[in-house]
Amino acid sequence: MNTSLLDPIVNQRVSEMAENLVGSEIIKLAGEVKEKIKQGEKIYNLTIGDFNPQLFPIPNELKDVIIKAYQNNETNYPAANGILELRESVSRYLHTREGLEYDADQILISGGARPLIYATYQTILDPEDTVLFPVPSWNNNHYCHLTRAKQIMIEATAENNFMPTAADLKPYIGEANLIALCSPLNPTGTVFTESGLEEICNLILEENKKRGDTRKPVYLMFDQIYWALTHGETRHYDPVSINPDMKNYTIYIDGISKAFAATGVRVGWAFGPEKLIMKMKAILSHIGAWSPKAERVATGKYLDNDDATDEYLFSFKNNISKRLNAFHQGVTKLKEEGFQIESIPPQAAIYLTVKFDLVGKTTADGTLLETSADVTKYLLDEAGLAIVPFYAFGASKKSPWYRLSVGTSVYEEIPELFERLKGALSKLK
């Protein structure tokens, strides 16, 4: 008998896509952090683009209506594109909060933003079509791989707060079928200026005018999941508000995950041209990437409660801003003391962009920090500081920039964190 036929290792071939799917650098780093915490080390884990629900719980009013929806047995299959009541609530929310006019049939509800991004890629792109996107950015490379699309990555610069410009995109616009942008940007917490986004919109419209009916248009996927979390004088700008002609070509990605600390509630929405939204609905109806019906019912009721949403956002944003400003001030103080560290002033989201220019430095035991990975490990080992290097978001392996997330940070621990960080930096030569 040929036992090799029964060997579970033999002949387990998979698709080329699955075989070559790259794991998340953030998850890899998170594993190292968890191991250190397990061993009893004090780690300031600022890697996670999420919230500690003990520090940042979802709104009480939202929690109450979720519980009530389950008590009312709202547990059967939801409509594939989202229950009408929620889509109508989202339509009203977009109108009152952003001045955007989208009716219920132009809105698609799903289990958070990720299925919506995947559906956008699948709806617009044929295999070997091209996606143009800046780096650092979140997961566009993985969605390109999943949909077998070509990718063109543009490395954005600190001089532009890591936001891409029309000049960056213009050399490649003729090849693109989809441009994927995010503002406020994960991982940087920075935003487009009005003029910067307007120039990109004009570039897209000019290109589509050239294409006419002979080629598929270039579409824009605009991820604005953090748009409600702007700080200080920062303003959020979006494509259709800047130029109404963009409405034919823009799919927005949005939801409650970030604005209401509801990452685990899993209610997201996309909105855009009705034909595209209906095709996305068809794709997701086969996948079943739905948020639970009770959460949909509850989210619709909550979004209609203007007083509750206003009160929550005011308090929530203040708590996020307080942390971001404290970290920025701490970094600035160390920079003034001569350490090779700096940060971009907080603009939006839950992230601070921090630079550790430490490659070439030598540790106390004589070890040379040769790479950004060496710097990341040194900060974790010596300062207990866990943050994510920009190369995890597609930037160059040589990039000295990092994402610092405050969604799990304990405000009272920030001073002791900087004491440890200063001690670790002081040991370098």
Using one digit for the tens of pLDDT, what is the confidence trace for 68-112? Answer: 999 999 999 999 999 999 999 999 999 999 999 999 999 999 999
DSSP 183: S
User: Which pLDDT score, from 0 to 100, does residue 27 have?
Assistant: 76
| pLDDT per residue as tens digits for the range 165-204 | 999 999 999 999 999 999 999 999 999 999 999 999 999 9
Peptide bond before 53: cis, by omega within 30 degrees of 0?
Answer: no
60-305 has CATH 3.40.640.10 classification: yes
Domain boundaries, the chain: 14-56+311-426, 60-305
Average pLDDT (280-301) is 96
Strand order in the sheet with 150-155: 107-110, 268-271, 250-255, 219-223, 178-182, 130-135, 150-155
Q: How far is CA 24 from CA 53, 132, 195, 256, in A?
A: 23, 20, 34, 24
Residue that wins the pLDDT comparison between 3 and 41? 41
Cβ burial, residue 80 (10 Å; 0-12/13-18/19+): middle
Residue 22 has pLDDT above 70, yes or no: yes
The answer to whether residue 1 scores a pLDDT higher than 80 is: no
pLDDT in tens, 211-262: 999 899 999 999 999 999 999 999 999 999 999 999 999 999 999 999 999 9
Percent of the chain with pLDDT strictly greater than 90: 92
Q: Rounded to the nearest 5°, which phi and psi values hold at 123?
A: -75, -40
Peptide bond into 136 cis (omega under 30): yes
Using the predicted structure, report yes or no on whether residue 8 has a pLDDT greater than 90. Answer: no
> Are the beta carbons of 400 and 375 closer than 8 angstroms?
yes
Structure tokens at 64: 């109450």
> Band of the pLDDT at 26, cuts 50, 70, 90?
confident
What is the structure's pLDDT at 391? 93
CA angle 385, 391, 396 (to 5 degrees): 135
Q: Among candidates 37, 55, 12, 74, which has minimal Cα distance to 299?
A: 74
Domain 14-56+311-426 sits in CATH 3.90.1150.10: yes
The rounded distance, in Å, linking the Cα atoms of 416 and 424 is 12
Dihedrals phi, psi of 152, to nearest 5 degrees:
-125, 115
pLDDT at residue number 7 = 58
Lowest mean pLDDT among 5-19, 65-79, 291-305, 311-325: 5-19
pLDDT of residue 9: 60
> What are the beta bridge partners of residue 134?
154
